[in-house]
Amino acid sequence: MRLTKVIIENFRGYRERTEIAIGDLTSIIGCNDVGKSTIMEALGIFFECDAVKIDAQDVNVSRSGEPCSVSCVFEGFRATLVIDAQAETTFAAEHLLNGDGQLEILKQWDCGGKTPKCSVFAHALHPTAPKAADLLQLKNAGLKDRVKELGIDLKALGVDARSNVALRRAIRESVGALDLAMTAVPLQAEDGKKVWDEIQKELPAFALFRADRPSKDDDPEVADPMKIAVQEAMKSVEAQLADIRETVRARTIEVATRTLEKLREMDPTLANELHPTFKAEPKFDGFKLSLTGDGDIPINKRGSGVRRMILLNFFRAEAERKRLQSGNPGIIYAIEEPEASLHPDKQAILVKALMELSQVDGTQVLLTTHAPGLASLLPQDSIRFVNRRDDNHPQVETGEGVLDRVATALGVTPDPRPHTKVLLFVEGPHDVKFLQHMCRLLRSVDPNVICIETDPRVAVVIVGGGNLKHWVERRYLERLGCAEVHIYDRDDAAAPKYKVAVDTLNQRAPKVWAALTRKREMENYLHAEAINAALNIALSFTDDCDVPSMTAEAIYMANNPPKRWIELPDKKRDQKESKAKIRLNEAAAGQMTMAHLLQRDPYGEIKGWFDEIRLRASE
């Protein structure tokens, strides 16, 4: 399951219903005390993580007599739902999905007493017709009574009266007009509770790393990553543990049954009063992992910078592990102020590790920051800007239009570029990665090739997407009047998207030079051997093939999935293609050799791009 949205209402400073879209990487940015941590802790409370608990003081002060609530919206949930031994059902069949076809779980707390009381609902497009609205809260006997009340002939319909699923289906069909409306469907009794039990098994693990960590021997700065490692390992063997539980249950009940049989020989009345019952499920939570330094000195006795470095490299290790391992359980890493106690260079490494981690299937990363340096490195589409309205209520803004407000609020400024002579325009950050790899490759045989990473005369400008830093730099560089080199993908051979723009730009020659790639896009210049070496997939393609799509499909099919590639929703395929594009331009491009490049680019087209950049940088 993948989290797509969190909705907060009457929780701390969020008096009104506030929705926050959640992606694979979500960056919650804003000044101090605007409500960033509240979002993270609301999620922590929803997922019942140990780092934060609901408190009676969490209700908004202006609506203290009302419940506070946190809702999470999910996609990618299991198609079938087993809550009835006699029949399978689905969330859609039970009318438990919202208007977008997603699973929206609402948790509501009554904070009127000393201890807040939690209620769980599915916020769904659910029947409101009187005879069909409460079916998930009825026992089998109650459903049968409803059947009689409606005069339904179960035998004529061939309905198994033991199956609650079948009874509900028959009742809904008999009622006819269900009057569907968005409703909070209780999930705390009868089959509603069974639904919630099944949902909980599929929920992603949630790890919250708080900024205001307590100072004690078991400092969670180090303990939490190790604890999460244990929890995730346990989750990955849940099926085996379930088998163990069932084996233990069967064997112990067998012993209890034999005992009762012997007791029955002596006292039948007493034996009939006794029944073997488990009071609680067995728990497997005895694993504890810790780290010690030289001389067995606990790491948590070291400085905050050292502890933060351990946290940094935990995420780097997780990114590497998850890249190499498929079938991981879903997990959400939520990190408050990851830049704390880290040198700016280490912050950049951490952001890169978190971005890589978020690109792994089943993994999402949320972070908060008010640090300009860290914020400037984050992808534009990940940014959720939190500020306060005139009435002091937090609001969350997204989209390109918000970047100016982020830059102003955090003081994100451009790097000084007194020596810039040429601006290199490309479509996106993936193109930058590809060109950086090609630059290193070409410079390995010809040091005269200009280095677009370190040469102060060159500034890269990303036309679409990118991150806040690119946006700020672009705004700054547009005023310098530098020479320009534009390199854009040809994409469609019959009707190239940027052909008119390139022709228009070339009319400003010689100060401006623009070109379309001869091949479909930059990924088509990669060699199949480099792709195979990096991604372990055998790919055969032409200059006009959609390489990222083919790569995504090959990676997906290598795991023997239950659905064919074409059967996946468009959105899911797009997500996988985006991740494949990243891996192609980072990992596969890094495996390219000069022999590979000469085979894929025999006319020296890529070398020609760098020649044009050097020519204008030298003028």
The reply to whether 506 falls in a domain is: yes
Q: Are residues 455 and 401 located together in one domain of the fold?
A: no
Q: Kindly tell me the sign of the dihedral angle through the C-alpha atoms of 311, 314, 320, 323.
A: negative
Q: Are residues 64 and 130 located together in one domain of the fold?
A: yes
Q: Are residues 397 and 497 located together in one domain of the fold?
A: no
Q: Are residues 514 and 370 located together in one domain of the fold?
A: no
34, 394 contact by CB (below 8 A): yes
Per the DSSP assignment, residues forming a β-bridge with 316 are none
Q: Are residues 434 and 563 located together in one domain of the fold?
A: yes
The reply to whether 217 falls in a domain is: no
The reply to whether 474 falls in a domain is: yes
Q: Are residues 385 and 512 located together in one domain of the fold?
A: no
What is the CATH number for 362?
3.40.50.300
Q: Are residues 336 and 477 located together in one domain of the fold?
A: no
Residues whose CB is less than 8 angstroms from the CB of residue 111 and which lie 6 or more positions away in sequence, other chains included: 54, 56, 57, 58, 59, 64, 67, 68
pLDDT over 80 at 277, yes or no: no
pLDDT band of residue 410 (cuts 50, 70, 90) is confident
The per-residue pLDDT for 195 is: 92
The reply to whether 257 falls in a domain is: no
Mean predicted lDDT score pLDDT of the chain: 83
Range with lowest mean pLDDT among 95-109, 149-163, 233-247, 302-316: 302-316
What is the distance between the alpha carbons of residues 6 and 26, in angstroms, rounded to a whole number? Answer: 12
Range with lowest mean pLDDT among 294-298, 383-387, 445-449: 294-298
Give residue 490's domain range: 422-617
Match 């497009």 to its residue by tokens: 125
Q: Are residues 508 and 359 located together in one domain of the fold?
A: no
Mean pLDDT of 193-199: 91
The reply to whether 32 falls in a domain is: no
Identify residue 5 by its one-letter amino acid code.
K
* The last residue of a domain, from among 203, 225, 251: 203
The reply to whether 211 falls in a domain is: no
Q: Are residues 446 and 383 located together in one domain of the fold?
A: no
What is the three-class DSSP state of 155? helix
Mean pLDDT of 473-490: 80
Of residues 301 and 606, the one with the higher pLDDT is: 606
Q: Kindly report the CA angle at 421 between 418 and 425, in degrees rounded to 5?
A: 115
* The last residue of a domain, from among 138, 173, 203: 203
Q: Are residues 363 and 458 located together in one domain of the fold?
A: no
553, 565 contact by CB (below 8 A): yes
The reply to whether 587 falls in a domain is: yes
Q: Are residues 393 and 431 located together in one domain of the fold?
A: no
Q: What is the pLDDT of residues 498-556, one digit of tens each?
A: 899 899 989 988 889 999 999 999 999 999 999 999 999 999 999 999 999 999 999 99
The per-residue pLDDT for 497 is: 84
Q: Give residue 270's Cα distance to chain centre.
A: 56
**For the chain, what is the domain count?**
3
- Tokens for 578, please give them: 């985006």
* The last residue of a domain, from among 361, 386, 410: 410
Mean pLDDT of 412-437: 84
Bridging pattern class, strands 18-21 and 2-9: antiparallel
What is the three-class DSSP state of 97? coil
Backbone angles phi, psi at 34, to 5 degrees: -110, -10
The per-residue pLDDT for 67 is: 92
pLDDT over 80 at 468, yes or no: no
Q: What is the pLDDT of residues 281-301, one digit of tens each?
A: 666 655 555 555 555 555 555
pLDDT band of residue 338 (cuts 50, 70, 90) is confident
pLDDT band of residue 90 (cuts 50, 70, 90) is very high
The reply to whether 333 falls in a domain is: yes
Considering the chain, what percentage of its residues have pLDDT values greater than 90?
A: 44
The per-residue pLDDT for 324 is: 54
Q: Are residues 319 and 451 located together in one domain of the fold?
A: no
